[in-house]
Each structure stands twice: as structure tokens, then as C-alpha cells.
Amino acid sequence: ELVLKVRIQNPNLRENDFIEIELDRQELTYKELLRVSCCELGVNPEHVQKIRKLPNTMLRKDKDVARLQDFQELELVLTVSDKNLLFRVPTLCEQSGYNKKASELTY
């Protein structure tokens, strides 16, 4: 697996943390990077204008994605500014593995 750090580009947010995503090294394509990133961040892929490798490099094709190395930082630059249009509720199969009940267990 290739582990990448991804976030939504938004200079107005006080906290704009990265999340880590994993991509299968056998499927290192731009389309797969876009799919996994949007799924994990809850963003509609149609609203992504570009993917930027920080600090200043735009990813455009599969060869660009194939050159990525573990823990590189990427940003999704979105095309729309209406917050109601940006985010969508992930379907059941897309929801993260977070389990609220498990996080409340005490040992």
C-alpha cells in the first residue's frame, strides 16, 4: 500500500488537518486517487477542480500518481464555494470504520 496525506484546500479553516489514505500499489491511477480521496473526505468527485501535491505541483495523470511516495501531502482543490454543495453524505459502504460505542469502552 501507498500511504498519502490528503485534505481539502481551504485557507479559511482554522484547523485543516490531513487524513491518511491507503492506495493499492497495483492501482496507482489518478482516477483511483480521486475516488479514494473523495470517499474518505466525503466530497463529491465532480466538485474537485484539481489535486495538488504540496507545496505547488498539480497532479494531472497516472504517471504523476505513480511517482508519489509514502506520506506525501495532497490537497483537493474544489470548484464550488457553496458548502451545501461540497459535501455529501457517504453511502454505507463508504463510511469510515469509526465505531462510537467502541471509542467509549473503558479498560
Q: What are phi and psi of 69, to 5 degrees?
A: -120, 165
Task: Give the lowest-confidence range in 36-50, 56-70, 91-105.
Answer: 91-105
Of 104 and 1, which is predicted with more confidence? 1
Of 88 and 75, which is predicted with more confidence? 75
Alpha carbons 75 and 18: distance in angstroms, whole number: 9
What's the mean per-residue pLDDT of the chain?
A: 81
Percent with pLDDT over 90 in the chain: 64
pTM greater than the 0.75 cutoff: no
Alpha carbons 57 and 85: distance in angstroms, whole number: 26
The answer regarding whether domain 2-78 maps to CATH 3.40.1120.10 reads no
pLDDT band at 3 (very low <50, low <70, confident <90, very high): very high
Tell me the one-letter amino acid at 15.
E
Question: Is 89's pLDDT higher than 70?
Answer: no
